[in-house]
Amino acid sequence: MYYLGIDLGGTNIAAGVVDAENRIVARAKRKTAVPCTPQEICEQLAQTAEEALRRAGLLLDDLPYIGVGTPGLVNRESGVVEFSNNLFFKNLELQKLLSERLRKKVILENDANAAAFGEYQSGALRGTRNGIAITLGTGIGSGILIDGKIYSGSNYAGGEFGHTVIVANGRPCTCGRRGCWEAYASATGLIVETREAMKSDRNSLLWKIAGSLEKVDGKTAFDAMRAGDKTGTKVVDQYLLYLACGLTNCINIFQPDVLCIGGGISNEGDFLLNPLRRAIAAENYARNAKKQTKLCLAQLGNDAGILGAALLGLE
């Protein structure tokens, strides 16, 4: 048995063919061209899926369905992406359009939920009863598994930890609120903090490491910290404070067996995990419980979304 999963992102569309042992045996990728019409985004997805199938030497008839993970509020019952602030979708009938284009059953899910399900099937959440996957990227993606099932609330909009407020009346967020965790603890939030620090300290190593404000990325502040730069260290410390605040909120609400962190910033490894573990241990409401949530890195990287989408039919 083979499955096909599509991970729709704001930058790239990635598709993969997955075998019965949860291995990705063929891939295809293309840049996401948005904003665009519903038909155009559907065509981009279809062509990426077809390319992955060609590389696997398979036909659509060899698949039971096609799974798609997409950013935004995804109504799995209707197959409609009701809202996606980063992809400019509003009430997009993606399941219907893609199913008609490919003449195949399509299962739709939020991309962060799909990634969490991928980690549950073959990654850091495997073998857990209850788990949470947090992805630190352009925004903050979050997926919740309860008793092995994706939790999405009564209206399929649940689990959006990135849009819980940690600073009242704080920075504007693309969702329309102010002070969202995503605005502070995403890679974008870290870049904003780093640039502001560079503007206030022209002698910081941040300038030498990045070269310019335009070239700042999620590693810049961490690299400066490791080089002993005081301003870079201050940026990282503040970022970790914001990140730990949101993670502790997640744990205090759900007390999962495992909470894994993915996305580009997770590549910082122990420089990220060790201070987070200390901060969470101090603020976790259940700090005296015998069983504590395990905080670890996600294992599947960018494959989590593809794998999770491909296996949605097994949920």
Q: What is the pLDDT of residues 68-107, one digit of tens each?
A: 999 989 999 999 999 887 788 999 999 999 999 999 999 9
* Span 18-74, pLDDT tens digits: 999 999 999 999 999 999 999 999 999 999 999 999 999 999 999 999 999 999 899
Name the nearest CA neighbour of 169 among 182, 180, 179, 183: 179
* Mean pLDDT across 111-125: 96
* Span 131-166, pLDDT tens digits: 999 999 888 999 999 999 999 999 988 999 999 999
The residues facing 53 across adjacent strands are: none
- Residue 174: phi and psi, rounded to 5, are -65, -15
Residue 208: CB partners within 8 Å, gap ≥ 6?
none
> Within 10 A of 180 (CB to CB), how many other CB atoms are there?
28
Cα separation, 310 vs 240, whole angstroms: 33
Output the pTM of the full model: 0.91
